[in-house]
Amino acid sequence: MTTRSLTTFDARTDDVLAMLDHKGEYKHLRTIEGPMGPIVRLRGDDGSAREVLCFCSNNYLGLANDPRVVEAGIEGLREFGAGTASVRFICGTFSCHERIERTIAEFMGTESSYTFVSCWTANEAIYPTFAEPGDILISDELNHACIIDGIRLATTMKKGVKKTVFRHADYAHLREKLEQAAGDDDVTGQIWVVTDGVFSMEGDIADLPAMRVLCDEFGAMLIVDDSHGHGVMGRTGRGTHEHFGMIGQNDIGQVDFFTGTLGKGLGGGAGGFVAGTSRGIELLIQRGRPTLFSNALPATIACSANKAIEIVMDEPQLVTRLKNNVETARDKIKNAGFDVLDSPTAILPIIIGETAEAIAMSKRLLELGVFVIGFGYPVVPEGQARLRIQMSAAHTDEHIDALVDALKKL
């Protein structure tokens, strides 16, 4: 058998992979042999699996393997089958989609909502669909990659859509950007301000009331991606807007549109959504390219995520439990001598400094039976490598003590 010679792609890909390995940035996927939970069965390098404490998932409310959520998914499979075999506007809209979209709108306090196969897709849909030539999109510099790409797509697809970036959570800088937009002859349409609710690497939150005031002053609309905030923030887990008392569509002082994921606190499966005004959602249905050209959310996910959101609405004590866990863990980690960033979210970043050290610490923690990821440059700024601890309502006091004991051994 003759082997073909390396193509240009093959050769340059080998170079990239070798470079990543050399720089210590190569990501080795770790396999879990069982459900997501506070304890997972993680496959080791020798191929055998062992139980470790998981402090790195987005399973904020512990619903990923909740028997009610799992059962709802199985019922969904039985009732609607494995696939929709269609995009929504042809024959892919099932009653389970209508139901979850009503549930999301009720949960978020908006007029309407629409689901996508992921929040990434929701962000790819909203910006190119909503923005028109003459509009400008103003974005926080630490916004999630899918917001950045969604905005890039909008500016490439529609010549005349502008974009600009303000320094992270620097609202004086946002004001400057708004003033520039207001004085820009090319900006004849809508000004959009876009932010994450909870920022996943810092664990900090956007000051939504301050942003709303600025948006109102300049006639701008506010879009918030709260993927790490839904199920976590606010007394009942609605999100960062609830944390600030900004519930209620069309009332003055609210968020105009949300994007969010169903793959974290709200069941952990997959899927994403846009929630907001009925007219905005209708525009997405009519014009959104992922809506028109990509399959619907699988029925099993629509059913399990719907159940997860119902549980969050019925059992706000889950959110309270998560908050208590966050406070307990933060206090104990601080008392153990670590530098944890303060925030009201379920993300506790411990700043270590050097990337190699953060990665070495995460490896050592795993040897001690605790699964925590170390993030370094280029995911976070140089010199600010960190261990990112993510809390869940499913963690017990014993789990937290075991985490802190392992940290102390470092």
Ligand X SMILES: Cc1ncc(COP(=O)(O)O)c(C=O)c1O
Give me the residues that bind ligand X (CB under 6 A), please: 118-120, 144, 146, 196, 200, 225, 227-228, 261, 263, 272
Alpha-carbon distances of 291 from 32, 64, 157, 283, 296, rounded to whole Å: 32, 26, 16, 10, 8
Distance, in Å, from the CA atom of 68 to the CA atom of 70, rounded to the nearest integer, reads 5
Least Å from the CB of residue 134 to ligand X:
27
In angstroms, give the least distance from the CB of 63 to ligand X.
15
Of 141, 132, 210, the C-alpha closest to 171 is: 210
Question: Which of residues 197 and 374 has its CB atom nearest to ligand X in the complex?
Answer: 197
Q: State which residue, 263 or 280, has the beta carbon closest to ligand X.
A: 263
Rounded distance, CA 328 to CA 343, Å? 13
- Helix (H/G/I), strand (E/B), else coil: 109: coil
Catalytic residue among 162, 230, 264, 332: 264
Token match 């069941």: residue? 267
All residues at 6 or more sequence positions from 116 whose CB lies less than 8 Å from its CB, including other chains: 122, 125, 271, 272, 273, 274, 290, 291, 294, 297
Nearer to ligand X, 103 or 400 (CB): 103
> How many Cα atoms are found within 13 Å in the side-chain-facing hemisphere of 211?
29
Q: What is the DSSP string of 242-309?
A: HHTT--STTSTT--SEEEEESSSSS-SSS-EEEEE-HHHHHHHHHH-HHHHHSBPPPHHHHHHHHHHH
**Residue number, 231 or 272, with CB nearest to ligand X:** 272
200 noted as active-site residue: yes
- Which one is catalytic: 112, 113, 139, 200? 200
Q: What would the two tokens of residue 214 be?
A: 């600025």
Supply the minimum distance, in Å, between the C-beta of residue 147 and ligand X: 7
Please state the separation of Cα 116 from the chain's center in Å: 14
Residue 361 carries which side chain, given as an amino acid letter?
A: M
Beta carbon of residue 210, minimum distance to ligand X (angstroms, whole number): 20
Minimum CB separation of residue 198 from ligand X in Å reads 7
- Asked whether 288 and 121 are in contact (CB, 8 A), the reply is no
How far is the CA of 85 from the CAs of 40, 80, 92, 209, in angstroms?
33, 11, 7, 43
| Helix-strand-coil split of the chain, %, nearest 5 | 45, 20, 40
Task: For ligand X, give the closer residue by CB, 66 or 225.
Answer: 225
Nearer to ligand X, 347 or 385 (CB): 347
CB of 272 to ligand X, least distance (A): 4
Q: Is 162 a catalytic residue?
A: no
Instruction: Specify the residue, 116 or 244, whose C-beta has the smaller distance to ligand X.
Output: 116
Strands (E), 62-186: 112-116, 136-140, 162-166
Minimal distance, residue 225 CB to ligand X, in Å? 5
Annotated active-site residue in 97, 228, 241, 243: 228
Annotation says 97 is catalytic: no
Q: Which tokens in the block code for residue 230?
A: 């839904």
Residues forming the active site: 200, 228, 264
